[in-house]
Structure 1
Amino acid sequence: MTMPSVGRDTEQRRRTFPPSPSLLRAVMTYLDVVYADKSPETKKWHTSKLTVMASEIGADRDLATIQDFEVLTWYALKANDRTISRDTLHGYARSAKKFFKWLETVGMIESSPAQGIDLPRLPKRGKRGIAEVDVQAFLRISAGHRRNYSIITFLECSGCRLAGMANLRPEDLDMSNPDRRLRKRAFVIEKGDQERVVFMSKRAYFSMRRWLDVRPASMDTVWGLAPRGIYEVLRRYASKLDLQGKWSPHEWRHRAGRRWITQGMHLSHVSQILGHSSTYVTDQFYGQFNVDELQEAYEGIVEVTDIAQVQGTDKG
């Protein structure tokens, strides 16, 4: 099923769905359409939240009969449930708001009954992503496979989203450009139709060249894999390595953002490279540090300065 464009007439958009679908059917349609090109983990996460919501509000309820106060009452009960963590509550709120907003966008409902839900504030904590030791394990185990190694090295350095990687075409690369800097750029399309540029490290560039030398010309995209296919490449390696930590494609993106900030890249640069809507988003994800990390950063500057000043005094 193809999601209708926002600009079409409401009645035309309604024809995409059967008349008066149940809440659960609308949920399943939404998940199939919106998360078709997302990782299985992402779809599973939203499924767990929305199916609970549907069962508690009424899975067989006619979508058109659901009122704002019912959704707000459902959320209030969740908010007052002390067995639910703040993170889980945030997940329910976020999933419900996105779901009903999508229904409004495609013309299935006049307005979102979840618009009155405010996302609960979460404690500030930076996302670290996949562990460095696991990154090195992925690089070692994939080194003998040209396609998979080019996937891993590109994922490791670019901060690209999974959909952007899956949609990457040979013409989005400029591997033979006389300008060496331009050779290491790739134009990707993410989040529907948003185009942005990502960059490759030397290792990713050369592994990409080696893969393109043997890549079948019949492939429409660089790797000839849908998002699920790229995810499956990682899953198989993670299984062989018996990894216990997080390794999904988005965890590599988290690692890149965190790493760039801790190594001194300007927050605005990180934000633009990752394709964030604002530096606030980048800061919330990657700019939060624990006390040990803050002290280490502090001492790395202050103690070096103190030593230089002492040495200068001694010379005087």
Structure 2
Amino acid sequence: MSVESFLTYIQHEKRYSPHTVLAYRTDLLHFAGFMAGTYEMQPEDARHVHIRDYMVRLMEEQIGANSIGRKLSSLRSFYKYLYRRKVIAASPMSMIKAPKVPERLPVFVDEERLNYLLDSGEFFDESFPSVRDKVVIEMLFGTGMRLAELLGLQAADIDFYEETVRVLGKRKKERIIPLPKQLVLQLKTYIELKSLQKFNNKSEGLFVTNKGAPVYPLFIYKIVNSYLTYISTQDKKSPHVLRHSYATSLLNRGADLNAIKELLGHASLAATQVYTHNSIERLKTIYKQAHPKA
């Protein structure tokens, strides 16, 4: 089946992450179900009229523009793969345009609030779960790494002498991120405390649950969400918000955009430039508050 061969290709040759492969699988199987149920055809037999009909169906189901755009992106990659392997003569996506997505600025938490959460001494104690939770939040805010990157960390990835952490990012691309000195000390305390815990099963991962099992996405999300609730009323309180907060803080303090790109592990500068909008909005706010002609 062409869909399965494409998924094998992106998993083993392109080395996409399991999360990305799953997203492609979900999108392509959804489209395959539409083609089979509506036209009794295989996805590789689709023409642009079928793609447009699929878009209409998604809109009727009130699927958002972002989600439709992602599904179309999956289809575009799929048909590009089929075209390169001469399974099809032309891509049916060549005449398809994704619906316009309204621009949304990255959500971040103000630096002062995060510093209050982490440094005030009001929210964390010296127990293992509390120390771990604090280091998790410090790591996400202090390095800007992705949730998947945090989950894959091992103690060996921390270089205490150089004060850096080695991260395996998207498409298995490795990068080195500097660690704040305070976080280095906290990591040492956490690792020592972790070694003293009497777990039945010791995980090789850097971060573990209260019982010593490897942490998982929902576990980290709950940690971040619960603590951000103390300092933020915004709806989004996810690990990715801390990544946005890291990038925004760097930009506000004058960091070079290309340097931020490398620290975040972005493939292109376009992905990093979205943070400049937050800084512009911040400048506008300061201007309105401070300038006599505002």
TM-score, length-scaled by structure 2:
0.67
Q: Give the direction of change, closer, same or farther, for the CA distance of 1:8–1:56 in structure 2 (3 Å limit).
A: closer
Contact 1:159 1:253 (C-alpha < 8 Å) held by counterparts: yes
- Please give the residue correspondences for 1:259-298 in structure 2 after superposition, counting only pairs within 5 Å: 259-283=249-273, 285-289=274-278, 293-295=282-284
Q: CA deviation at 1:206?
A: 1.4
**Structure 1 residues 180-220: Cα deviation after superposition (integer angstroms, max 9, x where no partner):** xx22x111101131111122222221111111112349431
Q: CA deviation at 1:150?
A: 1.3
CA–CA distance in structure 1, aligned partners of residues 30 and 275 of structure 2: 30
Contact 2:143 2:178 (C-alpha < 8 Å) held by counterparts: yes
CA–CA distance in structure 2, aligned partners of residues 37 and 228 of structure 1: 21
Q: Aligned residue for 1:233?
A: 220
Q: Aligned residue for 1:246?
A: 236
Contact 1:50 1:92 (C-alpha < 8 Å) held by counterparts: no
RMSD, matched Cα: 4.6
Q: Give the direction of change, closer, same or farther, for the CA distance of 1:221–1:160 in structure 2 (3 Å limit).
A: same
**Structure 1 residues 82-125: Cα deviation after superposition (integer angstroms, max 9, x where no partner):** 9969xx22431223322563587599994696643334454555
Where does the alignment leave 5 or more consecutive residues of structure 1 unmatched?
10-32, 304-316
CA–CA distance in structure 1, aligned partners of residues 189 and 21 of structure 2: 27
Amino acid at match of 1:162: L
**Structure 1 residues 16-50: Cα deviation after superposition (integer angstroms, max 9, x where no partner):** xxxxxxxxxxxxxxxxx842899xxxx7xx96x77
Q: CA deviation at 1:264?
A: 1.4
Q: CA deviation at 1:163?
A: 1.4
Q: Give the direction of change, closer, same or farther, for the CA distance of 1:8–1:298 in structure 2 (3 Å limit).
A: closer
Say whether residues 1:141 and 2:123 are aligned partners: yes
Where does the alignment leave 5 or more consecutive residues of structure 2 unmatched?
197-201
Contact 1:169 1:220 (C-alpha < 8 Å) held by counterparts: yes
Q: Aligned residue for 1:67?
A: 46
2:167 aligned counterpart, secondary structure: strand
**Bigger shift: 118-127 or 153-162?**
118-127
TM-score, length-scaled by structure 1:
0.63
Q: CA deviation at 1:256?
A: 1.3
CA–CA distance in structure 1, aligned partners of residues 116 and 153 of structure 2: 25
Q: CA deviation at 1:272?
A: 1.3
2:71 to 95, 110, 117: 95
Identity percentage over the alignment?
A: 18
Amino acid at match of 2:137: I
Q: Give the direction of change, closer, same or farther, for the CA distance of 1:7–1:215 in structure 2 (3 Å limit).
A: closer
Q: Give the direction of change, closer, same or farther, for the CA distance of 1:96–1:229 in structure 2 (3 Å limit).
A: same
Say whether residues 1:223 and 2:189 are aligned partners: no
CA–CA distance in structure 2, aligned partners of residues 114 and 133 of structure 1: 50
Contact 1:75 1:93 (C-alpha < 8 Å) held by counterparts: no
1:223 aligned counterpart, secondary structure: coil
- Please give the residue correspondences for 1:34-45 in structure 2 after superposition, counting only pairs within 5 Å: 34-35=18-19
Q: Give the direction of change, closer, same or farther, for the CA distance of 1:224–1:8 in structure 2 (3 Å limit).
A: closer
Say whether residues 1:4 and 2:8 are aligned partners: yes
Q: How many positions carry a matched residue from both structures?
A: 263
Contact 1:150 1:204 (C-alpha < 8 Å) held by counterparts: yes
CA–CA distance in structure 2, aligned partners of residues 205 and 265 of structure 1: 22
**Bigger shift: 228-237 or 185-194?**
228-237
Contact 2:35 2:43 (C-alpha < 8 Å) held by counterparts: no
Q: Aligned residue for 1:168?
A: 153
- Please give the residue correspondences for 1:194-209 in structure 2 after superposition, counting only pairs within 5 Å: 194-209=173-188
